[in-house]
Amino acid sequence: MKSSKGFTLVELLVVIGVLGILALGLLATIDPLEQFKKGTDANTRQSAIELVNALNRYYAVNSAYPWGVQPQCIGGIPNGAILNTMSICVTYLINAGELKSTFSEQTKIMASLSVTSPLGEGVTVCFNPDSKAESLAPPTKYDSLGAVKVGCPIAGGSCYWCAK
């Protein structure tokens, strides 16, 4: 009898099967789609903070928000709210030196932001998070206008994260 070195086909298939099961378990744990959503939420959150800071800096210098100086900025404020109509205001803030010129290129992020300016309460920028982790985070407790909403945070709900 001859002794041969190596693995049989069955042994190789068993090892490949075990590695496949381990890989599936790892993928389920990591959840790449959730990781992508968390990255998008982090980018949107940073943009919301940047926009609030720019609007507050503009207010500090001019004693008015851009829509108070340039009415065409939003075409009027219905009930004190500005919802997803900020492109002219963003251009105005860029020209005033309050935002970087690349901010206007973030059209998808700008479309997800809800900007409100209740009378006498400053300005609030909110967004509805996509990721489960951000939806369940304690700061995600507002409605789209920046008021605290009862029952938040909840996963996949209509609770918003807001920068004030």
CA proximity to 50, closest of 104, 130, 129: 104
What confidence tens digit (pLDDT) does each residue in 1-45 have? 666 777 888 989 999 999 999 988 887 777 888 889 999 999 999
Geometric angle at alpha carbon 51, from 83 and 119, rounded to 5°: 55
Average pLDDT over residues 94-114: 85
Q: Looking at residue 144, what is its pLDDT? A: 81
What confidence tens digit (pLDDT) does each residue in 55-95 have? 999 999 988 888 777 777 765 554 455 545 677 788 888 88
CA proximity to 57, closest of 65, 69, 45: 65
Geometric angle at alpha carbon 119, from 63 and 81, rounded to 5°: 105
pTM of this prediction exceeds 0.95: no
CA proximity to 135, closest of 34, 47, 31, 28: 34
Number of helices (H), then strands (E), in the chain? 6, 5
Q: Looking at residue 52, what is its pLDDT? A: 92
Alpha-helical (H) ranges within the chain are: 9-30, 32-62, 66-69, 87-95, 107-112, 132-135
